[in-house]
Structure 1
Amino acid sequence: MKQIIQDLKSGDTILEEVPAPIVKSGQVLVQTSRSLVSLGTERMLVEFGKANFLQKARQQPDKVKQVLDKVKTDGLKPTMDAVFNKLGQPLPLGYCNVGKVVAVGKGVNEFKVGDRVASNGHHAEYVSVPQNLAARIPDNISDEEAAFTVIGAIGLQGIRLVNPTFGETVVVVGLGLIGLLTAQMLKANGCRVIGFDFDARKVKLAEQAGILAYNPAEGINQVKLVQTVTNEIGADAVVITASNKSNEIIAQAAQMSRKRGRIVLIGVIGLDISRADFYEKELTFQVSCSYGPGRYDESYEQKGNDYPIGFVRWTEKRNFEAVLHAISSGVLDVTPLITERVPLAEYEQIYGNMSSSGSIASILVYEDKNQTPERVVNLLTNSFSDQKGVLGIIGAGNFTSAMILPSLKKANASIKYIASSGGLSSTTLAKKYGIANTTTDYKQLLLDPEVDLVLVTTRHNMHASMVVEALQADKHVFVEKPLALNEQELSEIIGAYSLKKKTINVGFNRRFAPLAAKMKKLVGNSDTPINIVATINAGFIPADSWVQDMETGGGRIIGEACHFIDLCSYLAGSMVKLVCMNAMGVNPEENTDNATILLQYENGTNAVINYFANGSKAYAKERVEVYSQEKTLVLDNWRSLKGYGFKGFSSASSGQDKGHANQFSLLVENVRNGGEAIIPMDEIVNTTLASFAAIESLKTGQWVNVQNKKTELKSEEKELYVASV
């Protein structure tokens, strides 16, 4: 299928060929008929993409500070690699989509195949959208009219924050597409509406809709005009839909407002606010967030959990429906706003001159194709029939892009597929790294007999099931940590593993780092117990992040701290026996990412893992100390290693290397030539059980015996094995 994207590195706007998405649970798959180009928002993205590196930095000073902090802790090269990797990820454009439902995901009861819907889908021939971000279109509305739904909801949410009453005077500053729709809806609310814009055509359109519209370029003093129209009272409210970096707009909004007036910002302007302007009139100021309540809430948007109507009357979905009703009833007239209709293939007519475009609303028209959407796009005609160790990758996120693929490239890996749910990220990476096929259907990898190894790099809640599927398809597996989120998933994995002579590899890369190998060599392989202290300055992640969600990410202890349990086990040369964890100021039943994990090993080694999220990003992220036989090793952020008490060794250094390159080099070699997994399976299971035990310890307030867990697990494995046979 075709999709419009913005390349942030080159600045090009591209019509890309990508595989069509597969409908997800809780979503509907829509074949697009029309989409509306939001010239204001999309122009900003296009112009940002075209800006040079310095101009991009000036537009995002907060990001520049983050980059400088990362340089201090990680070094210049890793930081620049991360920056260019981020800029190498194109943005899908568009959020005003209309089309026909062609598939319905599990758990969706509101829609059926054949329904026409408006959604916030991208400019693409097919989009899979969550049910709470789609609304059914009334029969008397055309697809073109319905394309205004989402952008109309943006204006409507601003109006809801204004909370206008019948007869009030409301000023709309900026009569672009959102401004014109906002003005019409305010008028329908019984308000007297005054609009300002420097474009004469937009002013004329507003006048035709019954708005008192003026062009300040004609010498009009906006503040005095509002005072005159309102008999020196001032506007009851001001809605700002303009896009301008000047601070003058907010100052004028305050000056034209009445005492205790309301100002709501929908657009993007300078916000150097004068205290005096707001203090004397006791003005209120609020920024409107997109389409309404539910926006950016993963529970609402992605999981389909609606807000009770008795407590949240107007969600973003209900705002969509309200806009559609307004168009259906004739209260909102959008047809005069359509400036041009352009076939998708001729998209450059719109995007080629956006900076000077005089368009109000541009509609993209899609072909009505009666064919099954393609889920695999072949980019290269490579033959893999005579090769061993052919790879297929499931997941094309940041980590795959930044770490996994560069490492596999160094290892000269043969990659036949890369899969992603949306298709765009996998296509981008496939082109960059010379991967033959990009797909949205990961089962294609499992069905292909030429694929020997499947790499799973998805969100954590998908790891266990995909590992089992890959094993059942007779594939070797590499899965990014964690292997599983609970003991039931781990039992299922081991049950499948016991039936197949295939390896399971987990991305515990720290043990493969050059400085970790040096530490292990200096410590030796004797049974002498050692003391280990690993301090992880993990950094803050918001509580609403998917990583923190216990169902999706498993939390940061299971999802991330497992790295350091494995590292301690590698250095100790032993298995974890007992685990105890305490945490900073949390209810034991809650998730945590500020915790101390105590590990006791079979050989007597003790390890302490301090996993903290409340430290400064300017401080090193990882520090590991080992104490053994009157000798000490201190590893600082994988860049330097210092030894105390060792004969012939005092220090070593390297560029920041966390072991990814060595890990994947060994992995590719083993799959090509045959051999055991790069980490023994019993060690992987022990580390995974230890991470589960840490959570259990926090809840119970007691030490947890990992050996008992292993015994219980073996009993479950036996039952699964017998059942499978």
Structure 2
Amino acid sequence: MKQIVQSVSDGELRVVEVPQPEPAATETLVATRRSLLSAGTERAVRELASASLLRKARARPDLVRQVVSRARTAGIRSTVAAVRSRLDEDMPLGYSATGVVVAAGAATEGLRPGMRVATASVGHAEYQAVPGLLAVPVPEPVSDQAAAFGAVAAIALQGLRQAEVGVGGSVAVVGLGLVGQLTVRLGLASGLTVIGIDLRDWTAELAASGGAVGLVEAGAATTDQIMELTRGRGVDAVLITAATRSSEPVTRSTEIARDRARLVVVGDVGLELDRRGFYERELDLRFARSYGPGRHDRAYEDWGVDYPIGHVRWTARRNIEAYLDLVAGGRVAVDDLVTHVFPVDQATAAYDVLAADPRALAVQLSYSAPAEPTRDAITVRPRSRSPRPRAGLIGAGNYAKATFLPALKAAGWADDLAAITSAKGLTARHAAERNGIALVLPTAADLLARDDIDTVFILSRHDSHADLVARALDAGKHVFVEKPLALTQDELDQVRAAYDRNSGHLFVGYNRRHAPMVAHTKRVLAADVGPLSISYRVNAGTLPDTHWYHDRRQGGRIRGEVCHFIDLASWLVGGQPAAVHAYGSGRGEPGLEQDVNVLLGYPDGSTATITYCTRGHRSTSKERLEILGRGHTVVIDDFRRLEIDGREAKLSAGGKGHRELLTHVRTAVAKPVSDQRELAASFGSTRAALSVVAALAGVDAQPSRLPTQVGDVTAGYAS
């Protein structure tokens, strides 16, 4: 399918072929008919992407601070690699469209194939996988052209709701671009007196043609006109829909608002404010967030959990519904706002018009994608067929691009990468272009069905790991899966059964075992016997509320990260823990605990304490491992410094073992090398991580009481 993307680094715009998306249970697949270019938002995004790195930094000082913080803890080289990876991306464009439902997920409600819907949060592509609550049925009288305004109109409507002005009240709309014009028309339909203000005469005239009072900003003269229109009181609310770095629109709004009025910021404007104007009239400054309640809420968008109407009357979906009903009833008209329509193949021309024509207000793209899409692979770069077995990747997120794929190449896999797939096909296409991968496949099932793929690397979201591992093994593949191997004991049993009934290798991404410093430490400790005392401190750092680790379906940080440190401690001891105790902060549900202390006890008398904390200072190294026993004291500080018995050990290679692990995988796949020892360790670490979650929940589920046999793989894995 065709999708419009732009380069994050230089703003280059392209229409690319990517696989059709696969809708999740809470999503619906929509064949797009029309999509709307939001003049203000998309023009600003394009300008920023086209800007120099210095200008980008000035525009986003918050991201600069994050880069500096990371450099202090992770090092300059790692930080530069991460920044380059983020800049070397293609981002999708568009968020307001309409189309026809092709397929509805099992957990969506009121949607069926053939239904016309207005969509939000996804836009300029022939097919969209849309959150079910953001795919809104379109009434029959509403044209595709009008329905494509749904998400942008909801932004305007949410601003009006924040203003809380009843019938007969007055509002001023400052900034008469597309969102401003929609705000004017929706305000008039709500029974309000609307005054539109702009620096341009033609936009003021357009607002006036719809029934508002259109004024060209002229300072004191404009203020006098507004006071005359409002009987000397000022307006009840000001909606600021302008887009400018200047703070002038907000400052001017204080002069035309009545006492105790509301100022609602809808557009992207400067906010260097003078307190006096707000204090003297005790003004209420508010901000409207996108389409309304539910936007940027994971439960609403990703999980399909609606807000009860008795508690939240106007959600993002209901705002779009309200707009469509107003259009269907003839109370709001928008067709005259459309200035240009281009077929999707000419998207670059559409953006050129948006940039060059100051009167390009609402520019739309048209589509003719069939309602029964094909599921063909995308050939990115034709390559000669290799006689050797070849590999496929499932997942193309940030970790895959910034860390895993470079490590794969360094381990000798570069010529054997045959295909890639991801939940969002655009990320897979981008990774394929940058890494010489010939095919981008629509789904994981398509990749597993290919006979020319021998080894599968699974780097998808955590809740898919166990199922994909079992399916890949059953398809006769060798499998590498990033940790965690499983999120529940049932999933672990599923993986174990699949491994037992097949002959393929299975590897888990516990790379720290293979780090050069760990390998050297193992050799030092092997010279003697006896129990070890291990202390592992992890300064994990906080994650934003929107991070997917907060999604309970993904297992949280214990299953996804703490398992790494459990695994390394067990690998150094040479066995799996017989007892697991865990203590958390008690904030939130046990499975999503972010601050935890874990105590592991081993049959040989060894102990390991893992302190995983998110509240440390950013200058503190992320990982510090101390090992005492067998006549030695070993300190590994963030895998950058190794100290043995008080002396620093200089190694020729450093790092956390990604390349070394993948080299081991390559050797094991190419030759009859047993994976039993490593796999036993992986199953043991997974069971221990599950036991940590159980302990935090107050459930007695120690690893020693869980099954320890994995086919021919035994619980012990002493070196």
Offset at residue 510 of structure 1 (A): 1.1
After superposition, residues 35-434 of structure 1 pair within 5 angstroms as 35-120=35-120, 121-216=122-217, 221-352=221-352, 354-358=354-358, 359-369=360-370, 372-384=373-385, 386-388=387-389, 390-413=390-413, 414-434=416-436
Counterpart for residue 704 of structure 2: 707
Deviations along 1:383-439, whole A, 9 cap, x unmatched? Answer: 446112x11111111111111111112223111111111210000000100001112
Deviations along 1:199-257, whole A, 9 cap, x unmatched? Answer: 222111101001111122x6664433322322321111000111111122211112221
498 and 154 in structure 1: CA distance in 2 versus 1, 3 angstrom threshold: same
402 and 186 in structure 1: CA distance in 2 versus 1, 3 angstrom threshold: same
Between the aligned partners of 1:78 and 1:544, the Cα distance in structure 2 is: 24
Between the aligned partners of 1:575 and 1:98, the Cα distance in structure 2 is: 55
Deviations along 1:10-64, whole A, 9 cap, x unmatched? Answer: 3201111111112321222111111111111111111111111111111111111
Report the TM-score, using the length of structure 1 for normalisation: 0.94
542 and 71 in structure 1: CA distance in 2 versus 1, 3 angstrom threshold: closer
Between the aligned partners of 1:687 and 1:197, the Cα distance in structure 2 is: 63
Offset at residue 524 of structure 1 (A): 2.2
The 3-state SS of whatever aligns with 1:21 is coil
Counterpart for residue 440 of structure 1: 442
Between the aligned partners of 1:60 and 1:86, the Cα distance in structure 2 is: 14
Counterpart for residue 721 of structure 1: none
Contact between 1:505 and 1:678, CA under 8 Å: does it hold in 2? no
Between the aligned partners of 1:620 and 1:342, the Cα distance in structure 2 is: 53
What letter is aligned with 1:113?
P
638 and 589 in structure 1: CA distance in 2 versus 1, 3 angstrom threshold: closer
The 3-state SS of whatever aligns with 1:204 is helix
After superposition, residues 486-505 of structure 1 pair within 5 angstroms as 486-505=488-507
Between the aligned partners of 1:161 and 1:30, the Cα distance in structure 2 is: 31
Contact between 1:74 and 1:656, CA under 8 Å: does it hold in 2? no
| Count of residues in correspondence between the two structures | 709
Report the TM-score, using the length of structure 2 for normalisation: 0.95
Between the aligned partners of 2:116 and 2:615, the Cα distance in structure 1 is: 48
Offset at residue 2 of structure 1 (A): 0.8
Contact between 2:21 and 2:425, CA under 8 Å: does it hold in 1? yes
Contact between 2:354 and 2:363, CA under 8 Å: does it hold in 1? no
Between the aligned partners of 1:145 and 1:587, the Cα distance in structure 2 is: 44
Counterpart for residue 722 of structure 1: none
What letter is aligned with 1:467?
V
Contact between 2:109 and 2:132, CA under 8 Å: does it hold in 1? no
Between the aligned partners of 1:537 and 1:285, the Cα distance in structure 2 is: 39
Between the aligned partners of 1:368 and 1:534, the Cα distance in structure 2 is: 55
655 and 354 in structure 1: CA distance in 2 versus 1, 3 angstrom threshold: farther
Between the aligned partners of 1:157 and 1:631, the Cα distance in structure 2 is: 65
Contact between 2:483 and 2:510, CA under 8 Å: does it hold in 1? yes
Deviations along 1:479-511, whole A, 9 cap, x unmatched? Answer: 111000010110111011111111111111111
Between the aligned partners of 1:588 and 1:150, the Cα distance in structure 2 is: 34
Counterpart for residue 463 of structure 1: 465
Moved more, 462-471 or 352-361: 352-361
The 3-state SS of whatever aligns with 1:269 is coil
The 3-state SS of whatever aligns with 1:330 is coil
Offset at residue 698 of structure 1 (A): 1.9
Moved more, 685-694 or 270-279: 270-279
697 and 371 in structure 1: CA distance in 2 versus 1, 3 angstrom threshold: closer
341 and 544 in structure 1: CA distance in 2 versus 1, 3 angstrom threshold: closer
Equivalent of residue 665 in structure 1, options 655, 663, 677: 663
Contact between 2:378 and 2:441, CA under 8 Å: does it hold in 1? yes
What letter is aligned with 1:579?
V
Between the aligned partners of 1:666 and 1:298, the Cα distance in structure 2 is: 38
Between the aligned partners of 1:625 and 1:178, the Cα distance in structure 2 is: 58
Counterpart for residue 686 of structure 2: 688
Counterpart for residue 615 of structure 1: 616
Between the aligned partners of 2:611 and 2:200, the Cα distance in structure 1 is: 60
Contact between 1:407 and 1:665, CA under 8 Å: does it hold in 2? no
Deviations along 1:293-321, whole A, 9 cap, x unmatched? Answer: 11111111111111111111111111111
Equivalent of residue 551 in structure 2, options 533, 549, 554: 549
Contact between 1:525 and 1:573, CA under 8 Å: does it hold in 2? no
What letter is aligned with 1:643?
I
Offset at residue 589 of structure 1 (A): 4.9
The 3-state SS of whatever aligns with 1:608 is strand
Unaligned regions of 5+ residues in structure 1, if any?
719-725
What letter is aligned with 1:710?
P
Between the aligned partners of 1:193 and 1:588, the Cα distance in structure 2 is: 49
Between the aligned partners of 2:61 and 2:222, the Cα distance in structure 1 is: 33
Contact between 2:500 and 2:710, CA under 8 Å: does it hold in 1? no
306 and 452 in structure 1: CA distance in 2 versus 1, 3 angstrom threshold: same
Between the aligned partners of 2:589 and 2:404, the Cα distance in structure 1 is: 35
Between the aligned partners of 1:51 and 1:592, the Cα distance in structure 2 is: 41
Between the aligned partners of 1:440 and 1:616, the Cα distance in structure 2 is: 43
Between the aligned partners of 2:339 and 2:206, the Cα distance in structure 1 is: 12
Counterpart for residue 604 of structure 1: 605
Offset at residue 66 of structure 1 (A): 1.1
Contact between 2:680 and 2:710, CA under 8 Å: does it hold in 1? no
Counterpart for residue 717 of structure 2: none
Between the aligned partners of 1:353 and 1:263, the Cα distance in structure 2 is: 33
Offset at residue 527 of structure 1 (A): 3.5
686 and 638 in structure 1: CA distance in 2 versus 1, 3 angstrom threshold: same
1:652 aligns with 2:650: yes
What letter is aligned with 1:158?
G
Contact between 2:126 and 2:369, CA under 8 Å: does it hold in 1? no
The 3-state SS of whatever aligns with 1:707 is helix
After superposition, residues 579-594 of structure 1 pair within 5 angstroms as 579-586=580-587, 589=590, 591-594=592-595
Offset at residue 192 of structure 1 (A): 0.9
What letter is aligned with 1:230?
T
RMSD value, Cα: 2.1
What letter is aligned with 2:138?
I
Offset at residue 272 of structure 1 (A): 1.6
After superposition, residues 447-486 of structure 1 pair within 5 angstroms as 447-486=449-488
Between the aligned partners of 2:221 and 2:624, the Cα distance in structure 1 is: 62
588 and 63 in structure 1: CA distance in 2 versus 1, 3 angstrom threshold: closer
225 and 621 in structure 1: CA distance in 2 versus 1, 3 angstrom threshold: farther
Between the aligned partners of 1:419 and 1:147, the Cα distance in structure 2 is: 30
557 and 654 in structure 1: CA distance in 2 versus 1, 3 angstrom threshold: farther
